[in-house]
Structures are given as structure tokens and as C-alpha cells.
Amino acid sequence: DAGVIQSPRHEVTEMGQEVTLRCKPISGHNSLFWYRQTMMRGLELLIYFNNNVPIDDSGMPEDRFSAKMPNASFSTLKIQPSEPRDSAVYFCASSKGGRVAEAFFGQGTRLTVV
């Protein structure tokens, strides 16, 4: 298995533009997590899906952020409109069942909003 696949690896966009980050979880995993990492705040959980259903989105910073999981093999995280303070590395992770004992992380998307 190729692991968790995220795209793009790097994204540079102008303030106000819409940004869409993509994630393909490991086949057979039915929990998916989106994290954000910055120097100031470290790794923060944004949202967590189980069986394609959002279970906990309390970490989503504001209404500009939205996440979807239309099927078991694909998820998106959208920021609209983007702001410079959204610049961070965004990680997607997946795990089997509802357990997070062994979550597998993707390589991340480095987002820069200028």
C-alpha cells in the first residue's frame, strides 16, 4: 500500500483565494483525521471522520474551513477565503476502525498564503 496520499505537497496562493487540499486514506481504514501544524501551535486536530461521517469538527478554526469525505477513499479540506494566518503544514491521517492506536500520516501539504 502506498500509504496516505496527500496532494498537493506544496501550495502557494494569494490571500482571498480558495484552497483545496486532498487526501486518499489507506484502503480499509475507516477513520480519517485532518491536522494542522504550525511553529506556534504545534499539531492540532481539525476534524475527524469515522465511516465517512464527521464525528468531531471542534478543531476547525472558523467557517472559512470545511471538510468533506464523499467516499471511503477520498477527503478534501477547503479554505475559502484563505488568509496569511492559514499558512501551515496540513496533515491527513487514517486508521482502522475507530481506534487511533496506530494512525498513519501522509507527507503533508505545505500551504503558504501570501
What string of DSSP letters covers 46-84? EEEEETTEEEE-TT--STTEEEEEEETTEEEEEESS--G
Site map (CB under 8 A) of another protein, residues 10-29, x = contact: --------------------
- Site for another protein contains 48 (CB under 8 A): yes
94: phi then psi, degrees, rounded to nearest 5: -135, 155
CA atoms within 13 A on the CB side of 69: 23
Which residues touch 48 (CB under 8 Å, ≥6 apart)?
A: 31, 32, 33, 34, 54, 55, 56, 57
Of 17-25, 69-77, 78-86, 99-107: span binding another protein (CB under 8 A): 99-107
- Site for another protein contains 45 (CB under 8 A): yes
Query: What's the closest the beta carbon of residue 36 comes to another protein, in angstroms?
Result: 11
Residue from 5, 7, 68, 103 touching another protein (CB under 8 A): that is 103
Binding site for another protein (CB under 8 A): 4, 31, 33, 42-43, 45, 48, 50, 55-56, 59, 91, 93, 97-108
